[in-house]
Amino acid sequence: MIETEEKYLKISDLNEYIKVMFDENSFLRKIYLKGEISNFKNHTRGHLYFTLKDETSRISAVMFYNNALSLTFKPEDGMNVLVEGRISCYPAQGTYQIYVEKMEMDGLGNLYIEYEKLKKKLASEGLFDAKYKKAIPKYPKKIGIITAPTGAAIRDILSTIKRRYPICETILFPSLVQGSSAAPEIVRQIKKANEFDLDLIICGRGGGSIEDLWAFNEESVARAIFASKIPIISAVGHEVDFTIADFVADLRAPTPTGAAEMAVPKKEDIESLLKEKSCRANVLIKNQLKNKFERIEHLKSSFILKNPMSLYELKEQKLDLLMDNLNKNIFTILKESESKLEHIKQNSILKRPLVSFELTKTKIATYKEKINGNIMNIVNQKRHEHQLLLNTLKLVNPLNILDRGFSLVLKDGKVIKETEINVKDEIEIKLAKTELKAIVKEKKEWKI
């Protein structure tokens, strides 16, 4: 049988009691947590809701709008953060959560932000563009290596080059590859290597954490690689992630060993190639010799070699023929020139030049007289047409009737009709040679 209801609490009362326990616990009033953001939601009102988790546990979190205003980054799923806040209960759902008051990115996250910012900046300047990548020489004679003088990286590079291409010379430019002094040292050695007669530079180190590899994410190193006149292979020991140096370098290798393999050919491949070239050269030489011997045999059996005087005789005959044709052409040209000269001598103009002058002078005078006559005819015709037009204008000119005693009556400068004039109107009366101004005193109708 169910006992009296006084023993049973309402759920809301229980959750309120639990909330008070959380709020009164001094340890939970100021708590510091680090973890990874998941299930992130940015509410339309500006509040942030998400879950903080580590390898085995998770906790709900909320950051209200007034606290979120202080953030210097945009939270996202997968981001590692450090948070400061208080633990309390949300009575409506009976769940506890952290109310975040401050939040910042974990150390690795800050490095990632710097990395992305620099990557975006250099990309916009064109430092990653393929058009600036220098070609890697196929058979380098001398390679510079910028790395730590001790460690696996230098050993791997040197042993790989010696094994694959032992005739290649290597020069080590020792440098720090980790720590705050590494970047300036790498830059100095890149500049120094450019003073040597090198075909290629390998720059890198073995693997490590992002902090260990950070020197190859420095802007100064990226710009030194870009400014290098000698091609550079980036050989930082990490196969998955890329450093800034990888993007700027002319070629990126996943490991120092991989860089050495990309830098030099394999001697077995060269030996195989040489054998192939040698075989092809031998075949070509044999074919050439065979063709030459066949040519010699053909020449030896030719008629010209057996009868060399026949070649001379043919040339002599051809020369005789050319000489005959030349003499014939010269004689023809001379005859034609003599004929032209004789014709010119017989020309009447040369014998009597003044006759031609007088004829031309007479023709000019005749042409002049004809032109003057034509001009006068045209002028007279135009004068006659002009007079006809003047007479026509006089006939149709309305002002000519004034000479016959008529007059024009105007009001305000316009010719008026009978209905447009009234007593006391000011009018103008134009006669043939006189203009009168008058005032109408009386208006009477009359009939013709």
**Strand, coil or helix: what is 177?**
coil
Residues 139, 121 share a domain: yes
pLDDT the model gives residue 349: 66
* CA gap 178, 143 in Å, rounded: 23
Note whether residue 370 is domain-resident: no
What pLDDT, in 10s, does the model give residues 41-58?
Answer: 999 888 999 999 988 899
Residues 150, 87 share a domain: no
Name the pLDDT band for 258 (thresholds 50, 70, 90).
very high
* CA gap 408, 431 in Å, rounded: 7
Q: What angle do CA 171, 172, 176 make, to 5 degrees?
A: 160
pLDDT the model gives residue 245: 94
* CA gap 230, 212 in Å, rounded: 26
Which tokens belong to 399? 């002002």
Above 90 in pLDDT, residue 265?
Answer: yes
pLDDT the model gives residue 210: 74
* CA gap 208, 186 in Å, rounded: 17
Domain boundary among 265, 289, 319: 265
Above 80 in pLDDT, residue 354?
Answer: no
Above 80 in pLDDT, residue 75?
Answer: yes
What pLDDT, in 10s, does the model give residues 404-448?
Answer: 777 778 888 787 876 677 888 888 888 877 888 888 888 777 665
Q: What is the mean pLDDT of residues 239-265?
A: 90
* CA gap 191, 196 in Å, rounded: 10
Residues 247, 134 share a domain: yes
Residues 200, 153 share a domain: yes
Note whether residue 261 is domain-resident: yes
* CA gap 37, 92 in Å, rounded: 24
Tally of CB atoms within 10 A around 17? 12
* CA gap 107, 104 in Å, rounded: 9
What spatial distance separates the first Cα and last Cα of the chain, rounded to whole Å? 143
**Strand, coil or helix: what is 96?**
strand
Residues 77, 120 share a domain: no
pLDDT the model gives residue 1: 42
**Strand, coil or helix: what is 53?**
strand
* CA gap 221, 224 in Å, rounded: 5
Residues 117, 100 share a domain: no
Residues 139, 22 share a domain: no
pLDDT the model gives residue 406: 76
Average per-residue pLDDT for the chain: 86
Residue 391 vs residue 120, higher pLDDT: 120
Residues of the domain holding 56: 11-105
Cβ atoms of 217 and 243 closer than 8 Å: yes
Residues 120, 100 share a domain: no
Note whether residue 297 is domain-resident: no
Q: Number of structural domains, the chain? A: 3
Q: What angle do CA 145, 148, 151 make, to 5 degrees?
A: 110
Note whether residue 260 is domain-resident: yes
Q: What are phi and psi of 173, to 5 degrees?
A: -110, 90
Above 80 in pLDDT, residue 306?
Answer: no
**Cβ neighbours for 262, distance < 8 A, ≥ 6 positions apart:** 136, 233, 251, 253
Lowest-pLDDT range, 160-169, 256-265, 321-330, 439-448? 439-448
* CA gap 190, 228 in Å, rounded: 7
Above 90 in pLDDT, residue 73?
Answer: no
Residue 247 vs residue 213, higher pLDDT: 247
Residues 58, 197 share a domain: no
Note whether residue 123 is domain-resident: yes
* CA gap 237, 156 in Å, rounded: 11
Above 70 in pLDDT, residue 343?
Answer: yes
pLDDT the model gives residue 177: 93
Above 50 in pLDDT, residue 376?
Answer: yes
CATH code: domain of residue 65: 2.40.50.140
Name the pLDDT band for 221 (thresholds 50, 70, 90).
very high
Residues pairing with 171 in the sheet: 144
